[in-house]
Structure 1
Amino acid sequence: MKYKGAEIIIKTLIDQGVDTIFGYPGGAIIDIYDALYDYKDKINHILTCDEQGAAHAADGYGRSTGKTGVALATSGPGATNLVTGIATAFMDSIPMVCITGNVPMSLIGKDSFQEIYITGITMPITKHNFLVSDINELQDTIRRAFKIANTGRKGPVLVDVPKNVILDYAEYEPKEKIVCEPKSDYNLDELKELAEIINKSERPFIYCGGGVTASESYKELRDLIKKNKIPACNTLMAIGVLDYDDELNFGMVGMHGKVSSNYAIENADLLIAIGARFSDRVALNTKKFAPHAKIVQLDIDKSEIDKNVLVDFGVVGDIKVILRNLLPMIEERNRSEWLATLRDFKTRDYVPKDSDEILKPHQIINYVSEKLGEDFIMVTDVGQHQMWAAQYCGKIHPRSFLTSAGLGTMGFGYGASIGAKVANPEKPVVLVSGDGSFHMNMNEVTTAVKYGIKIIAIVMNNDNLGMVRQWQHFLYEDRYSHTDNKKKTDYVKLADAFGAKGYSCSTIEEFKESFNDSLKVDVPVIIEVKIDEDEAVLPMIPAGGTVDDLILG
């Protein structure tokens, strides 16, 4: 039986198990939305305020579930509004499929109304993209897009469909959902050599990243740590993968990571990088990073081996498969001397001071974690609040700390929160934002209100672009150039105008009262917390520095 291209798109998405689309209609894709009308009992559609919000929501859906998020946009500005969201997903290896409409093939290249070369624009920020010029290739192209997005190193894929293909007819037969099987390029001898390196080391240290989250290999990693008594740290993308209560968990590493984890890397004789890419926010000075260690790297992406830091040994493959097969070769160890050294390093960790008089960021995050336990989702925007959330989020499950780590996208948080809550309706979702980030996409509060998607947004308001201001203080002699963000926004009135519930707090007791009350209401919430403009994220290692350049106050 023949179907219109628009309907083939919807039916193929259903075949792939898609239950939710985030999007915004327009002329080039009006027929896809017309087809969607007949399938609204099978696919939930969330109309965001703009296409960037849709992309971030699809991203949040993917981050929190491991499934492929889907965003739908029209041609021209609709497609270009996706770009920041696509780049965000690309940098953090998040599975996402974006479907855009375009002008008919006969009008491409003629500066037609809302025409844009979106495949050319997104080529550097997608894992792959397609321009579908033949209706007979439409179904298989969409299926390929889902396979590419969620196979190997995951990432966003864009499918651009011209209007004539959307309107044309072709045969369609349902096909089974593509199963994405993990693949690995390593051989048994490589694993034996890796096991020997680990077993012979005296001061090993694990540095794990987002690849552990993507491969769902938390259990295997924890088993390796336990069996060989290897202490470990995590990147921003790997928050939650280590056992919070394990004494071998040294927490976050890098520019604003734990002093102890940075010193551990400085003194290790073996650094095991698992699903991590030696980002410049961790390996701040690649020439002096892990100076005494043999470095081994395990990664799904061959191009990551030796990219930022030259390693002594690399294994390419799915992390879960590698660790599962490596574990039987690993010896049980008791590294008492090394662990004693590391315990001494822990005594140097930065401990912020509490206050009853002014709001302290760590107390805010600590209270949220204490109140909600470990089974909730924390989403952040980008800036000082992001680092405070990462430092003090406490015991949290894997895939429950969602943040734009690679691209550092201010305005990411609210859209991502919508996607996470839609995908996990049973879990509380708390967005931690700053006054700068929140203003970038606060229009999406109206989306949450419209659909009854309860998100508790905590806006840390210091009336400044805090992270840039902090750099201006420590590194630019207090030359505060254009980081003053003193907007006159009344967050309580803003929330009321949007149909949400608003609070404003100046002390920790006011915050506790507001947060407790926010858990009882059935609408989205905005809680403004007023923090001091000089509050800094500490510890801090400046870009290009080492532990010798550590700033603690």
Structure 2
Amino acid sequence: MKINGSEIIVECLKEQGVDTVFGYPGGAILNVYDALYKHSDEITHVLTSHEQGAAHAADGYARATGKVGVCFATSGPGATNLVTGIATAYMDSIPVVAITCNVTVPLLGKDSFQEVDIAGVAMPITKHSYIVKDVNKLASTIREAFRIAKEGRPGPVLVDVTKDVTANLAEFKKMEIEAPKRKVIDLTDEDIDKAVSMIKLSKKPFLYVGGGVILSDASKELREFADLVDAPVCDSLMGKGAFSGHDKKYTGMIGMHGTKTSNFGVSECDLLIAIGARFSDRVTGNAKKFARHAKILHIDVDPAEINKNIHTDASIIGDAKEVLTRLNAKLTKQDHTEWIKHIEEYQKKFPMKFNKDSLNGPNIMENIDRITKGEAIIATDVGQHQMWAAQHYKFTNPRTLLTSGGLGTMGYGLGAAIGAKVGVKDKIVINIAGDGCFRMNMNEIATATRYNIPVIEIIFNNHVLGMVRQWQDLFYGKRYSATVLEDQVDFVKVSEGMGAHAVRVTTIEEFNKALEEAIKLNIPCVIECVIQKDDKVFPMVSPGAAISDAFDREDLNKKEAEAKKASK
């Protein structure tokens, strides 16, 4: 059967089970949109307000559903507007296929109108990027793009198609697409046996869990492994929900804004088992002082991560689900009662403290957790609000925190929340934003209202760029350069102008009432929370310091008092 390139693209999407595409049309991609129109009963297209919103929505859809997210954009600025979203997905290993269209083959390389080498631009931020100039290679390229996006360590792939290819005819034969096999090519019995031996010799083991556990759907195996090892469990930002936040063994996040329990515990353990995590600088602090007393066992699907940031004593390369399954089969139940008791003492000694009477980030997050019973999907932008969400919402299940961990993309959360809600319709989906982040992509409120996608946008408005200001306050002598946002923007009026239900709150009682109403209304809602500009995220590790040097407000007050006393 001969069909044109645009129809081939749509048929290939159907082969992959794609039911939703996020995008924005333009001249070069018009043929594809025309083909998509004819299949609107099979593939839903969500028109976002900006191409970056489309990329973030595809990313959020992928994180929440476990499927590949798909976004479309036209040539030139349409394609380049996807770049931040593609880079966000790449840094967090999220499977996204971005399909763009370019000028015709004869116009390539001639600085034609809206021409850009997007395949070249995207090369460093994708697992692979293609430009298709021959319609006969189009179907195989798209199929390969989806395979690459899903297999091994997932990630984004870009396919750029010239406009003449979208119109040219070629033979097309449908294919049955097989699910990618879990990567075990480098997994050996010797590695498993060595890991088991290390675990059995350990008296103070600690588990450090990353996003790879979620990507491999290994939460069940992780719970079994933690029980067999009898070890406390901490996580990275990307690992939230892989291990239940309500489990007694859970000690909270590790790193720059991790709990003292996790940071102190990892600093004292004799065996650190890292699973699907990459030892980012936000986790390790001073790498030379990280887990100095521990042997390190690193489990990861990507061999490039082994010994990249932290030297390991042993490693297992393979899919986390497969590795944990094999380890669990060989492990006998260990007993580390004294070690667990020691960690529990830390938990009692260093609880997360905040004012439960005022409207502040931690209090808002704990009330969201209570009202949603911990069952919501939480998206976040980047900054103080992101850290408060990670610290104070008890994530019990995987794929319930959508956040830009690697790239730290302000403006990510609203698009991601829209994508998640489209993909998982029966869940409450809430985006946590700062006022600075809301300004970045607030136009996506119009996307939510256009399709009546009932996301709840919660803005922590402290009238400053909170996290940057926190650093200026602590490390830059309170010189608040370009971080004050005292202006005339009214977020409630702006949101209402785009068709959302919006309300401003100044007390925790008003917030709880507003959130309960938003859930009941089941329409796009915005809640602006006016909080104090000097609220900070604690605990914190200073740049360049060891995570064992984590400090909180009490430590800071004590240090300031001692300095004041010494200066007299």
The TM-score range, normalised by the shorter chain, is over 0.9
Deviation, structure 1 residue 245:
2.8
CA distance in 2, matches of 1:395, 1:83: 30
Question: Which residue pairs with 1:351 in the alignment?
Answer: 352
Question: Which residue pairs with 2:245 in the alignment?
Answer: 244
Deviation, structure 1 residue 548:
4.8
Contact kept in structure 2, 1:91 and 1:406, CA below 8 Å: yes
TM (norm. structure 1) is: 0.98
CA distance in 1, matches of 2:417, 2:10: 25
Q: CA RMSD in A?
A: 1.0
Deviation, structure 1 residue 512:
1.1
Contact kept in structure 1, 2:206 and 2:265, CA below 8 Å: yes
Question: Which residue pairs with 2:65 in the alignment?
Answer: 65
Q: Tell me the SS of whatever aligns to 1:153.
A: coil
Q: Tell me the SS of whatever aligns to 1:520.
A: helix
Deviation, structure 1 residue 324:
0.2
Question: Which residue pairs with 2:140 in the alignment?
Answer: 140
Deviation, structure 1 residue 331:
2.0
Contact kept in structure 2, 1:350 and 1:538, CA below 8 Å: no
Question: Which residue pairs with 2:303 in the alignment?
Answer: 302
CA distance in 2, matches of 1:316, 1:330: 18
Question: Which residue pairs with 2:203 in the alignment?
Answer: 202
Question: Which residue pairs with 2:270 in the alignment?
Answer: 269
Q: Tell me the SS of whatever aligns to 2:36.
A: helix
Contact kept in structure 1, 2:263 and 2:550, CA below 8 Å: no
Question: Which residue pairs with 2:565 in the alignment?
Answer: none
Contact kept in structure 2, 1:147 and 1:178, CA below 8 Å: no
CA distance in 2, matches of 1:228, 1:548: 24
Q: Tell me the SS of whatever aligns to 1:347.
A: helix
Deviation, structure 1 residue 287:
0.5
Deviation, structure 1 residue 224:
0.7
Which 4+ residue blocks in structure 1 deviate beyond 3 angstroms?
none
Contact kept in structure 2, 1:5 and 1:165, CA below 8 Å: yes
Change in Cα spacing, 1:261 to 1:105, as seen in structure 2 (3 Å) is same
CA distance in 1, matches of 2:535, 2:109: 52
Question: Which residue pairs with 1:42 in the alignment?
Answer: 42
Deviation, structure 1 residue 363:
1.2
Deviation, structure 1 residue 355:
4.2
**Structure 1 range deviating more: 142-151 or 386-395:** 386-395
Question: Which residue pairs with 1:408 in the alignment?
Answer: 408
Question: Which residue pairs with 1:283 in the alignment?
Answer: 284
Task: Work out whether 1:333 is the aligned partner of 2:347.
Answer: no
Q: Residue 188 of structure 2 aligns to which amino acid in structure 1?
A: N
Contact kept in structure 2, 1:61 and 1:416, CA below 8 Å: yes
Question: Which residue pairs with 1:432 in the alignment?
Answer: 432
CA distance in 1, matches of 2:114, 2:494: 33
CA offset digits 1:11-46 (Å, max 9, x no partner): 110111000000000000000001111100100000
Contact kept in structure 2, 1:224 and 1:230, CA below 8 Å: no
CA distance in 2, matches of 1:441, 1:407: 16
Question: Which residue pairs with 2:254 in the alignment?
Answer: 253
**Identity over aligned pairs, percent:** 49
Number of residue pairs the alignment of both structures matches: 552
Q: Tell me the SS of whatever aligns to 2:170.
A: strand
CA distance in 1, matches of 2:454, 2:111: 42
Contact kept in structure 1, 2:9 and 2:32, CA below 8 Å: yes
CA distance in 2, matches of 1:53, 1:205: 38
Q: Residue 380 of structure 2 aligns to which amino acid in structure 1?
A: T
CA distance in 2, matches of 1:20, 1:487: 38
Q: Tell me the SS of whatever aligns to 2:281.
A: coil
Task: Work out whether 1:56 is the aligned partner of 2:56.
Answer: yes
Question: Which residue pairs with 1:318 in the alignment?
Answer: 319
TM (norm. structure 2) is: 0.96
Contact kept in structure 2, 1:17 and 1:177, CA below 8 Å: no
Q: Is there any run of 5+ residues in structure 1 with no aligned partner, and where?
A: none
Deviation, structure 1 residue 362:
1.2
Deviation, structure 1 residue 522:
3.5
Question: Which residue pairs with 1:448 in the alignment?
Answer: 448
Contact kept in structure 1, 2:263 and 2:548, CA below 8 Å: no
CA distance in 1, matches of 2:84, 2:322: 33
Contact kept in structure 2, 1:350 and 1:539, CA below 8 Å: no
Deviation, structure 1 residue 340:
1.9
Contact kept in structure 2, 1:259 and 1:348, CA below 8 Å: no
Question: Which residue pairs with 1:376 in the alignment?
Answer: 376
CA offset digits 1:81-130 (Å, max 9, x no partner): 00000000000000000000000111110000000000110100000111
Q: Tell me the SS of whatever aligns to 1:404.
A: coil
